[in-house]
Amino acid sequence: MNVPTMADMMAQGKQPEVLFWVGAAGSYDDRAKKISRAFVKILHKANVDFAVLGTEESSTGDAAKRAGNEFLFQMQAMMNIEVLNGYEVKKIVTCDPHSFNTLKNEYPNLGGKYEVLHHTQFIQNLISEGRLNINDTTLQGKKVTFHDPCYLGRANEVYESPRDLIRRLGVNLTEMKRNKSTALCCGAGGAQMFKDAEKGDKEINILRTEDALETKPDIIATGCPYCNTMMTDGIKFKEKEAEVVVKDIAELIAEANNL
């Protein structure tokens, strides 16, 4: 698929309206790559003039920072800021709430000041600007529950954008008992994604999957590649793969529009 890079754009003397920050998961993780592609399909559908950094993109440093390695985080941040400022980037969209949070909140005082949007906010804007329509009814009547990613929800208080998009799909949105500001973490944040859990009596993703399964959903929707992995693993552990799928909102919209 056509995914222009900032370097290409610059060579042609163009400045795209938005930079798509893909993130490590969206670039390398097989499951998350599908989310990146679904989002690009939406960008194409809405004729958004975008570009990625491609091989010039590097870890935001979020995981390093939350693991306690402030040095590594700031090295990464300053390298990325140099690249972003070099391309005079003004607006960034990302499918990863961790990148979203770090770029939006932790880069500014290191010299990286951008308008940063989560892809659910960006898609919501496309719809309200009349650039994108969700008109298909493929998913009508399906039962969907939304798992709030901590770094989108509590960390940045974005609760409504993802829900607004889900409602537009004509599905039946059912909330889990712990939702929005009281949502339970999937277990991946704070660099937990990259290590085994400490000794306990349960894995966090199993507990959260149980929350989701209580709503008897057809689809568990998320807005984070790491939550997606954790919930997918949870569904496998519960042997519910046949009945329940875990999907990013971008994937649901791409599917609904037959993209």
Partner 1 sequence: MQYLPNILFAIALIAGISFFVMNIRKLYRNINLGKKIDRTDNQPERWKNMIKIALGQSKMVKRPFSGFLHIVVYVGFIIINIEVLEIIIDGLFGTHRIFLGFLGDAFYGFLIGTFEILAFLVFVAVIIFWTRRNVANIKRFLSSEMKGWPKADGNMILYFEMVLMTLFIVMNATDTSFQQAGIGNPISQFVAPLFDGFTAETLHLIERAAWWIHILGILVFLNYLYYSKHLHILLAFPNTFFANLNPKGQFTNLEYVTNEVKLMMDPDADPYAAPVEGAEEEVPEKFGASDVLDLNKVQLLNAYTCTECGRCTSSCPANLTGKKLSPRKIMMDTRDRLEEVGRNIDANGGAFKEDGKQLLNDYITPEELWACTSCNACVEECPVNIDPLSIIMDMRRYLVMEESAAPQELNSMMTNIENNGAPWPYNQQDRLNWANEE
According to CB under 8 A, which residues from 162 to 181 bind partner 1?
181
Closest listed residue to residue 225, CA positions, set 248, 202, 208: 248
Nearer to partner 1, 16 or 189 (CB): 189
Nearest distance from C-beta of residue 172 to partner 1, angstroms: 27
Asked whether position 11 contacts partner 1 by CB under 8 A, the answer is no
* Binding track over 87-126 against partner 1, x by CB under 8 A: --------------x--xxx--xx----------------
Out of 24, 84, 95, 165, which residue is the one contacting partner 1 (CB under 8 A)?
A: 24
Nearest distance from C-beta of residue 168 to partner 1, angstroms: 26
Asked whether position 7 contacts partner 1 by CB under 8 A, the answer is no
Asked whether position 8 contacts partner 1 by CB under 8 A, the answer is no
Nearest distance from C-beta of residue 210 to partner 1, angstroms: 11
Nearer to partner 1, 173 or 207 (CB): 207
Nearest distance from C-beta of residue 113 to partner 1, angstroms: 14
Out of 10, 15, 31, 37, which residue is the one contacting partner 1 (CB under 8 A)?
A: 37
- The Cα-based distances of 172 to 112, 169, 207, 247 in angstroms read 40, 9, 23, 15
Structure token pair of residue 82: 């140099």
Asked whether position 83 contacts partner 1 by CB under 8 A, the answer is no
Amino acid at 169: L
Closest listed residue to residue 31, CA positions, set 239, 185, 236: 236
Asked whether position 18 contacts partner 1 by CB under 8 A, the answer is no
Nearest distance from C-beta of residue 1 to partner 1, angstroms: 6
Out of 51, 117, 123, 150, which residue is the one contacting partner 1 (CB under 8 A)?
A: 150
